[in-house]
Amino acid sequence: MPGPLDGLFVLDLSRILAGPTCTQLLGDLGAEVIKIEAPGKGDDTRGWGPPYVMGEDGQPTDLSAYYMCANRNKKSVTVDLASAEGQETIRKLAARADVVIENFKPGGLAKYGLDHATLCAAHPGLVYCSISGFGQTGPNRDKPGYDLMAQGYGGIMSLTGEADRPPMKVGVGIADVMCGMYATVGILAALRHRDRTGEGQHIDLALVDTQMAWLINQGTNYLTSGNVPSRIGNAHVNIVPYDVFATSDGHVIVAVGNDAQFARFCDFLGQPGWADDPDFATNTARLNNRARLEPMIADAMRQHAMDAVIAGLEARKVPVGPVNDVAQALGSDQAQARGMTVSMPVPGSADGAVTLLGNPLNFSATPVTYRRPPPSVGADTDEVLSSLDP
């Protein structure tokens, strides 16, 4: 069954994670994605391993796990952008494209005549998305941008980790991933405009800008109060109790969202009086008295086993859950029921297939499809280039 973006042609000049996250999502939704890679090594992430998919000969292939996380449903075409022939190839592909996405340094494609100004002038209906560290304007325009640097510059690292420990990055490249999500939304909005008016446009997107945008309540807390937020570990800046607590045999998450839930939580702990105490009865009071209340909760929680806490709070409809490792999360019955891992055949690999993370979108009429496994570098060069006009 065709996906919602069936018939859309995407020319992907991006590499590493933000752009490829976007184009994989567009591909999952049915778009045809042509991924341009440098001859030889291809996308930088092909070398970011181990782990790698192993070939039938027992040797690692060019499919690193990192590369595979963002590059299914694409065709790989190798093109030397520094050559006149390569530049002409890209121009021919751009003439077919609905969308071009790139993450070169600002101005980096202008010397090849492949920048947004040139291609959009030649193809007025083209949606051209540029991703960079700091954007196409501003004093930091020419600085390189990587996920870790964006997390540091954009503020999220200052909020992540324990209060008495150094700043900490998020455990995955979340600035890249979220930038890719914003890119997807922007491209779809620009296509909607194009379909109504025939007018394409340039989308200028920065890792740092998007990271600042998803500071969410912490950023708005600062803008409202003038108080600079700081690290508080797993606790919530606006809700108490909302944290990870040690039990007698493990850890659980408790996320009390309102005062009625707090009363039921106190009932489980055998401390109903806490819910009636004016210092703790409301969320505002609990925030003001966090330093007293949280140690009391921690002491009480350590008296119970993890499974008993989860069962007891679930029975009382208090939000509670485990702290799973990756194997537990992806192996859970919930993950399996929701299709959050998928197997795709890879001819020539030792196992004959690879297992990837699933797409979380569930459409009632135009489902996500998994049509093409992550390609080896240049696997589709002959097929794609032979279809171009001479």
Q: How far apart are CA 70 and CA 317, in angstroms?
A: 37
CATH 3.90.1300.10 fits 242-324, yes or no: no
* Segments of the chain assigned E as strands: 9-13, 32-37, 52-54, 60-64, 75-78, 99-102, 127-132, 201-206, 242-246, 251-255, 320-322, 341-345, 353-357
Write out the residue limits of the CATH 3.30.1540.10 domain(s) in the chain.
242-324
**Closest-CA residue to 34 (of 344, 379, 361, 346):** 379
At 17, the amino acid letter reads L
Burial class for 29, CB neighbours closer than 10 Å (0-12, 13-18, 19+) = buried
Mean pLDDT over each residue of the chain, to the nearest integer: 96
- Chain centroid to CA 264: how far? 35
Note down pLDDT in tens along the chain; length 390 residues: 789 999 999 999 999 999 999 999 999 999 999 999 999 999 999 999 999 999 999 999 999 999 999 999 999 999 999 999 999 999 999 999 999 999 999 999 999 999 999 999 999 999 999 999 999 999 999 998 899 999 999 999 999 999 999 999 999 999 999 999 999 999 999 999 999 999 999 999 999 999 999 999 999 999 999 999 999 999 999 999 999 999 999 999 999 999 999 999 999 999 999 999 999 999 999 999 999 999 999 999 999 999 999 999 999 999 999 999 999 999 999 999 999 999 999 999 999 999 999 999 999 999 999 999 999 999 999 999 999 876
Query: In this structure, are strands 60-64 and 127-132 parallel, antiparallel, or unpaired?
Result: unpaired
Fold of 9-215+334-387: Rossmann fold (3.40.50)
Using an 8 Å Cβ cutoff, are 51 and 63 in contact?
no
CA–CA separation, 281 vs 220, rounded Å?
26
pLDDT the model gives residue 63? 97
Is residue 176 part of the annotated active site? The answer reads: yes
Considering the candidates 12, 176, 209, 243, report the single residue annotated as catalytic.
176
- Is residue 251 classed as helix, strand or coil in its secondary structure? strand
Condensed to tens digits (0 to 9), the pLDDT of residues 176-213 reads 999 999 999 999 999 999 999 999 999 999 999 999 99
In the chain, which residues fall in CATH 3.40.50.10540?
A: 9-215+334-387
What pLDDT, in 10s, does the model give residues 324-380? 999 999 999 999 999 999 999 999 999 999 999 999 999 999 999 999 999 999 999
